[in-house]
Chains A and B, each alone.
Chain A
């Protein structure tokens, strides 16, 4: 999977035609074979652009930054990234006519150690679902696989699970990197950052971490696209995907196989309902 040349050509052409002001892509790191995102405004820098299986970061996160706001943006998206883009479009965070989207039929990306990422092994929608131009051959939607870690956790007892999650919340340093690197957390001021809110207090204790992470994951339930930007950003290496995958599984099982952002115009599972939703747990 190497589309560097194609992306460079497309970006150069877009700049030459005056169709975009900014291009968001990947470039090589200066010191190893990993890649970092790059925001290009100068057509001369187009030659830096690359795309291989090391292109990990979800670039739709940059659509909320100052450099891209109200500008015409060219963007590279993989399958999961395009799902988050779909949600951003429906939630009126970006305008479709201002974007030129290069979709990738993704074959899965690898982490620093060269191993295929877990979310790519379990990927359901590898092809970009919203694009102006598609690179690679689309492979279609795959079957839903329940996350291996969730299955493992479900087999454990209550006390064991409590101990495991206590460690997660204790090791959280409350830097909020997960939230800032999430493409779908675009609120101008997050509810857990409100100084006046007595409901949440900004101290960096583990009970605050519990409150913040639980609230965060529940506000993303039915919207999370499993791009794992949060895990990449976490300085404590916490398995944050557990919270999201659990929600995703419950939603997929109970709410008509809903997957966030796969269809155009999807607003997430909590913005719609069905009369047949399960209510056997309600007294």
Chain B
């Protein structure tokens, strides 16, 4: 686990200070054909990346309904990463093009209601990009650590 050293304040709610043992949880929703295979490659090639990510496999990035993101943010996640095939590489030909439109709108709406834009991030990772996946996870984890714990609209009794 990526350990948190100094005192961290939630960016959305400045009076909320992270407990000393706080470890961010990131939910990664990965497409089966590219990003999941990419994360597999990261593992088999023994590249190090932060273990804060919890991976969920979906058939295609366009399978991601906006409420998957909302549900993750409401329960345990401090950040969400959604990853799919590069444009043009979709196993279902055009799934990620549809997904791209939805991601933009979801991201902008979450931004407006008071989530920092780095809480929800998106990436294109192909099955050959094991090192890119490690980099992406590292970046997302670092970003979320800077933002502090997420407290917004949490389902009661289930924040960690």
- In the assembled complex, which residues on chain A have CB atoms less than 8 Å from the CB atom of B97? 273-275, 277
Name the B residues within 8 Å of A243 (CB-CB).
109, 113
Q: Does B139 contact A (CB under 8 A)?
A: yes
Q: B101 contacts the other chain (Cβ, under 8 Å)?
A: yes
A3 at the interface (CB under 8 A from B): no
A159, A215, A246: the one contacting B66 at CB < 8 Å is: A215
A269 touching B101, Cβ below 8 Å:
yes
A169 — which chain B residues lie within 8 A by C-beta? Answer: 153
- Mark contacts of B87-108 with chain A using CB atoms, 8 A cut-off: 1 yes-contact digit, 0 otherwise: 1000000100110111111111
Q: Given that A159-B14, A162-B114, A166-B114 are contacting pairs, would A214 and B109 also be in contact in the complex, using a CB cutoff of 8 Å?
A: yes
In the complex, the answer to whether B101 meets A255 with C-beta atoms within 8 Å is yes
Q: What's the tally of chain B residues with a CB closer than 8 Å to chain A?
A: 40
Residues of A within 8 A of B67 (CB): 191, 199-200, 211, 214-215, 218
> Does B123 contact A207, Cβ atoms closer than 8 Å?
no
Query: For the complex, is B136 an interface residue (Cβ under 8 Å from A)?
Result: yes
List, in ascending order, chain A residues with CB within 8 A of B104's CB. 250, 254, 277-278, 281
Q: What distance in Å separates the Cβ of B31 from its nearest Cβ neighbour in chain A?
A: 13
The answer to whether A214 and B122 touch (CB under 8 A), given A250-B108, A277-B101, is no
Interface set, chain B 96-148, CB cutoff 8 A to A: 97-98, 100-110, 112-114, 116, 121-124, 136, 139-140
Which chain B residue has the least Cβ–Cβ distance from A219?
Answer: B66
Q: Is the beta-carbon distance between B70 and A215 smaller than 8 angstroms? A: yes
Please tell me which one of the listed residues A154, A191, A269, A283 contacts residue B123 in the complex, with CB atoms under 8 A apart.
A283
Q: A34 interface residue, CB < 8 Å from B? A: no
**Interface code B70-91, partner A: CB below 8 Å = 1, 0 otherwise?**
1100100000000000010000
Q: Are A162 and B113 in contact (CB under 8 A)?
A: yes
Contact of B109 among A207, A247, A269 (CB under 8 A): A247
A144 at the B interface (CB under 8 A): no
Partner of A162, one of B103, B108, B152: B152
Per the bound structure, the CA–CA distance linking A149 and B3 in Å amounts to 41
> Distance (Å) between the CB of A232 and the closest chain B CB?
22
Chain B residues within 8 Å of A271, by CB: 98
B101 lies within 8 A of A273 (CB): yes
B156 at the interface (CB under 8 A from A): yes
Chain B residues positioned under 8 Å from A141 (CB to CB): none
A59 to B: closest C-beta gap in Å:
28
Across the interface, B113 reaches (CB within 8 A) one of A161, A207, A219, A251, namely A161
Given A162-B113, A214-B66, does the pair A282, B123 have CB atoms closer than 8 Å? Answer: yes
**Chain B interfacial positions (CB closer than 8 Å to A):** 11-14, 66-67, 70-71, 74, 87, 94, 97-98, 100-110, 112-114, 116, 121-124, 136, 139-140, 152-156
Interchain residue pairs with CB less than 8 A apart (22): A153-B112, A158-B11, A158-B12, A159-B14, A162-B12, A162-B13, A162-B114, A165-B113, A169-B153, A200-B71, A206-B153, A207-B74, A214-B113, A215-B70, A221-B105, A250-B104, A250-B105, A273-B97, A275-B97, A281-B104, A282-B100, A282-B122
| Given A210-B74, A214-B67, A277-B101, 10 additional A-B pairs, CB 8 A | A158-B12, A162-B12, A219-B66, A243-B109, A273-B100, A279-B100, A281-B103, A282-B124, A283-B122, A283-B139
